[in-house]
Structure 1
Amino acid sequence: MISTSLARRLSLAVLGLSSLSATVAAAQATTSQKGVGITIANIDPSVKPCEDFFHYASGNWLKSNPIPAAESRWGSFNELADHNNATLRAILNDAAKNAPKAAKGSNAQKVGDFYASAMDSAAIEAAGLKYLQPHLNRIAAIKDLGEMQRFLADPKAHTGSVWYGMGVGQDDKISTQYAVQFGQGGLSLPDRDYYLKDDARSKAIRTAYDTYLVNTFKMLGDNEATAKANAATVQRIETRLAKASKARVDLRDPYANYNKMTLAEADAAYPNLALPLTLKEEGLGAAKEVIIGQPDFLKEVSAMLKDEPIADQKQYLRFHLVTSVVPALPKAFGDESFKFSQVLSGAKKQQPRWKRMLGSTDRALGEAFGQLYVDKAFSPAAKARAKQMIENLRTAYGERIKATDWMSAATKTEALKKLNAFTVKIGYPDKWKDYSALTIGRESYLNNILAAREWASKDEISHFGKPIDRNEWGMTPPTVNAYYNPPMNEIVFPAGILQPPFYDPKADDAVNYGGIGAVIGHEMTHGFDDQGRQYNSEGNLKDWWTKEDADKFNAKAAIVGKQYDAFAPLDSVHVNGKLTMGENLADLGGLTIAYQAFEKTPQAKAQAKIDGFTPEQRFFLAYAQIWRTNARPEYLRQQVQVDPHSPAQFRTNGPLMNMPEFYKAFGCQDGNKMMRASADRSKIW
């Protein structure tokens, strides 16, 4: 899951809306009729639903939809993204064609020229390193620690992600204020363990990474021996950073990662980071306090800046600068980057340039581009229907909280207060970002990337000292995703995901509640998962639970953790129940709440069959079919190591194995694989 500051935690899910359709109204008068929204042909009847519901619901689809060569996985998210991309590509082609005639400085001009420069591969090839060289020269000119500190403090240094992360975001304990935050970073590989583990796959990845490093340095002009030496230097520096980094499970503890201190205290603790200079150059000179996410990591970086030879540090910066702008460099750089990424993802070929540059435009000019998208692809009526369904789910959640038999009255009161305080954002921002200070042209794609990067940094830093901007979004409108943001206590659903198969206005309520309803419930449950529950109704990191209730919650969550630890997508590759805890709890809670809300609909009460399935069966089939996914082994290995989300088959089967409602719908019996013994089930909400 995607964020503009270190404080923001965004979480992947699906979402949608629902209303009683004419299809359902007609179905009430008959035993069974043909429905919309569930693809019956996807079902594999050779698999028993109570043995493996993932393969029962989508088995035929899995067999007939091999992973495209340019993808590492393929599922409903990808299908919807491809559908959206067709619309987005048409918008961008028109924008690029019409940009010369558009008003200079308008969003249409900027979006069109950015995409046109990105797609002009001939110009990029002809330019070579022309536009990159001034930035490489700046790095080469650094002579000592003082000059290195001044360079790193310069917001125009454009080195990519080096040493650590810095940003401005909400203060987790004072959610009405922005704070300056620092945290670990600086690695090129997806996780610290890739540098530290000695299993065969980790070694193979490091070997491939070394090849990538060597070839990149050679393309920059180094001879073979120098390139190999510089590659070894980067690996050594990043390995040292990895050893100082916290593991992903440890990063899930919001209290342990909140360490506020005065700027003077931070400067004394990390003297070689030159934090006062950095804040001054970034326009944050008024900051008197900072929040340090991982103090031991920052301490090690401070030591490294003094210990590591300046010549070695320069090679580290040089590589990170280059790899942060690969798409804007000659094709050979992109080819080398893709060769290495293949080892991680298993993809057989590179995505077409238009698709990669579409993503680049979305990242650089997300809301300018997004405005053009929603004008074409998202109606006010869809937004209104989504709002109604969300309120239905909120009502059902409140009923579940009140009915819990393990939570005290005092904690229930606070939980309901938090639930009722959820802010809901649907489709697109009410107020769009202002890109007037960003200059985009057609001369250089690389310069456009750096200009957009600089603008985004200034935009984030400009928040400091001002009231919290509650109109801000962490995802762009075309995004096929959703999130919950704890300090804002908000649930957010971009326009991109409010489409089939997640939401279908022609489908019956069972389909929409099993699809988008479960996603809405998922995001709501993030407010009450093992991390989100630690924030109160105002978005502050503050304990509102009695000790007894917290202990009971943790015991129930531990059952879920144990369940997922046992899941293995590949031989000897197990899901990490602690890393995926929040998402697993959100899946279970979201589906439970969506089911309760669905049971109130006329369709559920009428009990008419559609396509031969009861309303409850259609609900669970809809849920399972949104998670249909084929994934490469390389992708799955990386997912279980770095992703807080479980693989798709366990996001399907895992929650259902805890739900008596599912057992009843499909007549599951003791001994069926999908049916857990009562003592092994988890029921929280």
Structure 2
Amino acid sequence: ICLEPHCILSAASILQDVNPDLDPCDDFYAYTCSNWIDNHVLPDAKSKVSVESLAKDRIKQRLNQILSHSNPLEKSLSSSSSLPRPDRIVDSQIFTKLTDFYGACMDEDTLDKRGIKPLYDQFRHIQGLLPASYLKQATLDPPFVQSLTEAMSHLGKQHIWALFEIRVVPDPHNPAKTALSLWQGEVGLPSRDYYDDPDVFSTYTKVVTELLELVFQKDTTGEFGWKSWSPVATARRILEFEKKLAQAKYHDDTIAVGTNRDGLNNGIIYERWSLEKLHATAPNVNWTLYVESMLPRGVPMPDDVLVPLPRFITSLSEDVLGSTNSRTLQTYLVWRTLWKYLDTLGEEFLAPRRKLEAKLNGVEARAKPERWETCLSHVDSSIGFLMGRYFVLSSLDSTSKTEAEGLASTIVTAFVDSLQGLSWVDDKTRKEMISKVQSMNYQLGYPSSFPDTQSAISLAEFYSSVNVKKDDFFGNVQSANEWAVKRQWAQLGKPVHNGVWDVNPQDVDATYSRKKNKAIVPAGMLQPPFYDSQGPDYLNYGSLGWVIGQTMLHGFDLTGRQYNKEGALGQWWSNHSMSEFNNRTRCFVQQYSNFTLKGPQEDIHQVDGERTLDSNLADNGGLAEAYSAWNTRFSQGRNNAHLPGLVNWSVEQLFFINFSRMKCSKSTPESDVRELRTSESAPDRWRVNGPLINSREFSKAFQCAVGTPMNPHAKCDMW
């Protein structure tokens, strides 16, 4: 029995969370999480707390401490003779950039005094390009098309995707190179369902009206002509347009995940359109002019654009822009700009938005989130690798990273062994699958290039174009947005570098890139409760092991299996193996579609087994491979010391208990419904119970009789 302090803390945490009076074979999530739920209170401003969110909160507290004090490395850097002097100087400079950004956001007095004024240049630009004089002109009139195009590129350069977004992505047919890809733009509500929800849409309308009233009132000189405008009528105009845009945006969202209504694979189709075809299909925008204006100097003009959602382009042109005049577009672009920069404008502009968030999430509208959390979020999204440097240097030791990499390698081995024994996969496909998993690039902790977060000079070069002033929060956010878009477009046509990260080291979110066949587990996940390098294997494999396993399995889910080991899109499975795979996916779709949760009025909502299929396949496979990898190490007599006070549970049972505990959460019914409508994962209860219902190892460990809720006669199995 381990009596070290970290073992005692782990044991105490498990004893505090689990309710031994409940039957684990009835509802395992309740068994492991009901006490946790009872022991946690929802703050007024939050709609959900979870083991994951509390881990994020601890990281935020740590980062807030770092940003609120002097450079934590300053003393060690100045006294260290092993570091070159330029590195010390640059480290001081980038830390100042970090704290200036944060400090400008925290200066609420200055933000309140400036109010809406920082946005006036943006409004002038939009009105100059789309004046009301175009009101009666056809939307295909050349001057109008050019003006709309210039307005869209002006906003696009600031990461405002009002109508559509063009991204630079690895070409799915040639993943070594990048290409342009045309996607839907942003709208104000999180899913199509909310536009048809009278209660939510009414609240949203009131919020838009209230914000417009504020903006119009502050046009005291009459420069923008808003003094005579009705906020109510303008809000109605904006939302009628946005509702049409939302209908186009969500017109065929199943295409994006490559499934039909039976949950079977249709194949992801990225149509490759020439700019001429794009012009012919959507003549409301001058696409050549748009791309030319977005390209940084020296980047060659592309010949074509990838279009994964062609019906959106048609609907945008015919149903949205084809029936819209200049005044509506001008007003809508002003609105999207206001909404994008709301956090930079002061408290009177933030209060209305909280009413919408309260309605969507079931929280108190009067509850004001901590400003430091808002500012930390902006720093994280704008210059997050800078913050990641100081988090990693203060929170991650090399031993944890090395041992976690070893854990990942055992799960890869377990999956290869699993593939060797699959009867439904033919030998040719099996060989390719094994090659893909063995070629998968696992990166844990932090990036070592583009940028190298261990190098102050690398970070300084990376963010050199982001201009930060300690008294200009709006300018800082705008500069960071412009830098991010320019940096992305500068990669067009260039080779894809596998060392680039899409998440920050301090994030608590593992990701898998299908087009790069790369899995990333950031340093934020190499911390308790997910991982303890000194803890027993059965806990680490139940938590971090599952995370790594399910991240890896995304390379073989409904969407991921269509990409080969190089990240190229195509059919590399045999027809036989593909048919067998599809037969098994039907089971998961039907099973998860029968899972439910209660809404605010005790109404029953069903999980969407089709939309969550990729996540469900990865969750189930990840658990199976994590358990298999741990069981192999256990048989070898590795680190599996018992913890004090837990002798009534076997190590096998504790593996599953720790897996379940990582998904313990408490939330409002409104938040549950929002997640159900928008998330590509099942609710937490079913991310736990779903894989366990299908796990024979779980039923054996807890001796659940066949026919009990956690061990039904019918199970789904893939890997």
Q: Same fold (TM over 0.5)?
A: yes
Given the alignment, which residue of 106, 121, 130 partners 1:134?
Answer: 121
| Change in CA separation of 1:106 and 1:464 when aligned onto 2, cut-off 3 Å | farther
- Identify which of 232, 249, 257 aligns with 2:254: 249
Tell me, in whole angstroms, the C-alpha distance in 1 between the residues paired with 2:188 and 2:615: 25
Q: Which residue of 2 aligns with 1:74?
A: 49
User: Pick from 253, 260, 264: which aligns with 2:272?
Assistant: 260
Match in the other structure for 2:165: 165
CA-to-aligned-CA distance 1:311-336 (integer Å, 9 cap, x gap): 11111111110010111002111111
Q: Given the alignment, which residue of 313, 324, 327 partners 2:340? A: 324
Aligned to 2:315: 300
1:518-573 deviation digits (Å, cap 9, x = unpaired): 11000011011111111111101111111111111111111111111111111421
What CA distance in whole angstroms lies between the structure 2 residues aligned with 1:24 and 1:654? 34
Deviation at 1:194, TM superposition (A): 2.2
The SS at the match of 1:683 is coil
Residues 361-401 of structure 1, C-alpha deviation per residue, up to 9 Å, x if partnerless? 00000111211221111122211111100100000000000
Q: CA deviation at 1:301?
A: 2.5
Aligned to 1:358: 376
Determine the C-alpha separation between the residues in 1 that align with 2:344 and 2:303: 38
Which residue of structure 2 aligns with residue 280 of structure 1? 292
In the alignment, the residues of structure 2 paired with residue 300 and residue 94 of structure 1 have an alpha-carbon distance, to the nearest angstrom, of: 52
> Which residue of 45, 60, 66 corresponds with 1:85?
60
Paired residues of 2:519 and 2:551 also in contact (CA < 8 A) = yes
1:211 CA displacement: 0.4
Does the aligned pair in 1 maintain the 2:160–2:336 contact within 8 Å?
Answer: yes
TM-score normalised according to structure 1 size: 0.91
Please give the secondary structure, in 2, of the residue aligned with 1:569.
strand
Matches within 5 A, 1:427-506: 427-431=445-449, 432=451, 434-506=462-534
Does residue 213 (structure 1) correspond to residue 231 (structure 2)? The answer is: no
2:617 to 579, 585, 595: 585
Provide the rounded CA distance (Å) in 2 between the counterparts of 1:125 and 1:483: 38
Offset of residue 110 of structure 1:
1.6
The separation in 2 between residues aligned to 1:507 and 1:632, in whole angstroms, is 33
**Displacement of 1:68 after TM fit?**
1.9
Q: CA deviation at 1:47?
A: 1.0
Question: What is the alpha-carbon distance in structure 2 between the residues aligned to residue 351 and residue 237 of structure 1?
Answer: 31
How far apart are 1:443 and its partner, in Å? 2.6
Counterpart CA distance in 1 for 2:551 and 2:405 is 14
Match of 2:79 in 1: none
Cα distance in 2 between the residues matched to 1:37 and 1:407: 45
Counterpart AA for 2:608: N
- For residue 37 of structure 1, report the CA deviation from its aligned partner: 8.1
Contact 1:218 1:224 in 2 (8 A): no
Residue segments in structure 1 that go unaligned for 5+ positions in a row: 1-21, 26-31
TM-score normalised per structure 2: 0.87
* CA deviations over 1:420-440 (Å, ceiling 9, x no partner): 110011111101150111111
Contact 1:521 1:590 in 2 (8 A): yes
Other-structure match for 1:9: none
Over 3 Å counting, the alpha-carbon distance change for 1:338 and 1:285 in structure 2 is farther
Tell me which amino acid in the other structure corresponds to 1:501. P
2:608 is aligned, of 576, 579, 604, to 576
The answer on whether the counterparts of 1:117 and 1:445 sit within 8 Å (CA) in structure 2 is yes
In the alignment, what sits opposite 2:411?
Answer: 393
Amino acid at match of 2:539: V
- Contact kept, 8 Å, 1:51 with 1:674, in 2: the verdict is yes
- 1:116-131 residue pairs with structure 2 within 5 A? 116-131=103-118
* Deviation (angstroms), 1:299: 2.4
| Counterpart residue identity of residue 333, structure 2 | L
**Would the alpha carbon gap of residues 466 and 84 (structure 1) be closer, same or farther in structure 2, given more than 3 Å must change?**
same
Separation in structure 2 between the aligned mates of residue 608 and residue 124 of structure 1, nearest angstrom: 55
Size of the aligned set, in residue pairs, is 650
- Give yes or no for the alignment of 1:682 onto 2:686: no
The superposition leaves residues 558-604 of structure 1 with CA deviations (integer Å, 9 ceiling, x where unpaired) of 11111111111114211100011011111100000001001112478
Checking the alignment, whether the CA contact within 8 Å between 1:510 and 1:603 is kept in structure 2 is no
Match of 2:653 among 617, 638, 643: 617
Helix, strand or coil at the partner of 1:579: coil
**Letter in structure 2 aligned against 1:311:** R
Say which SS state the counterpart of residue 183 (structure 1) adopts.
strand
**2:221 corresponding residue in structure 1:** none
CA contact 2:400–2:532 (8 Å) conserved in 1: no
Q: CA deviation at 1:670?
A: 2.3
Of residues 672, 680, 688, the one that matches 1:636 is 672
Amino acid at match of 1:23: C
Which letter maps to 2:97? K
Per the TM alignment, residue 609 of structure 1 is displaced from its structure 2 partner at its CA by: 5.7
Provide the rounded CA distance (Å) in 2 between the counterparts of 1:591 and 1:97.
39
CA distance in 2, matches of 1:96, 1:347: 37
Equivalent-residue separation in structure 2 for 1:190 and 1:130 (angstroms): 28
C-alpha separation in 2, matches of 1:269 and 1:83: 50
Q: In structure 2, what residue type is equivalent to 1:185?
A: G
Is structure 2 residue 95 aligned with structure 1 residue 108?
yes
In 1: Cα distance, 2:520 partner to 2:441 partner: 8
Q: Secondary structure at the match of 1:219?
A: helix
Kept in 1: contact 2:515–2:563 (CA 8 A) = yes
Select which of 191, 198, 207 maps to 1:203.
198
Root-mean-square deviation (CA, aligned residues, Å) is 2.4
The one-letter code matched in structure 1 to 2:659 is: Y
Contact 1:105–1:439, Cα closer than 8 Å, also in 2? no
Q: Provide the secondary structure at the position in 2 that maps to 1:583.
A: helix
1:413 aligns with 2:418: no
Letter in 2 for 1:126: K
Distance in 1 of aligned mates of 2:339 and 2:72: 30
Identity across matched positions, percent: 26
- Larger mean Cα displacement after TM superposition, 46-55 or 276-285: 276-285
Deviations 1:631-657 (A, max 9, x none): 110111111111001111111111000
Structure 2 residue 695 is the aligned partner of structure 1 residue 667:
no
Q: Which residue of 1 aligns with 2:356?
A: 340
Could you tell me which amino acid in structure 2 is paired with residue 260 of structure 1?
R
> What's the CA shift string for 1:324-356, capped at 9, x where partnerless?
011100211111111111111123323200011
- Per the TM alignment, residue 282 of structure 1 is displaced from its structure 2 partner at its CA by 0.8
Which residue type is aligned with residue 276 of structure 1? T
How far apart in 1 are the matches of 2:71 and 2:477? 16
The more displaced of 34-43 and 650-659 is 34-43
1:218 CA displacement:
0.4
1:600 to 632, 656, 663: 632
Give the aligned residue type for 1:676.
P
Deviation by residue 1:599-628 (Cα, 9 ceiling, x = unmatched)? 112478699865121110010001011111
Give the CA deviation at 1:81.
0.6
Tell me the distance in 1 between the aligned counterparts of 2:12 and 2:522: 21
| Cα separation, 1, equivalents of 2:473 and 2:344 | 6
Q: Distance in 2 between matches of 1:36 and 1:405?
A: 40
In 2, the alpha carbon distance for the partners of 1:95 and 1:238 equals: 46
1:188 has 2:188 as partner: yes
**Alpha carbons of 1:96 and 1:214: their partners in 2 closer, same or farther (altered >3 Å)?**
farther
Please tell me the residue identity of whatever aligns with 1:319: W
Distance apart, 1:243 and its partner CA: 2.2
Mapped pair 1:521 → 2:549: yes
* Paired AA for residue 104 in structure 2: S
Give, in whole Å, the separation in 1 of the partners of 2:542 and 2:103.
41
Distance across 2 between alignment mates of 1:35 and 1:444: 45
- Structure 1 CA distance for aligned equivalents of residues 202 and 269 of structure 2: 33
Task: State the AA in 2 paired with 1:492.
Answer: I
Is 2:424–2:577's contact at 8 Å kept on the other side of the alignment? Answer: yes
CA distance in 1, matches of 2:678, 2:618: 18
Q: Is the 8 A contact 2:159 2:482 kept in 1?
A: no
**C-alpha deviation, 1:165, in angstroms:** 1.2
Give the whole-Å Cα distance in 2 for the aligned partners of 1:55 and 1:243: 38
Change (3 A) 1:488 1:646: same
Letter in 2 for 1:525: L
Contact 2:157 2:482 in 1 (8 A): no
**For 2:69, what is the secondary structure of its paired residue?**
helix
Structure 2 letter corresponding to 1:92? L
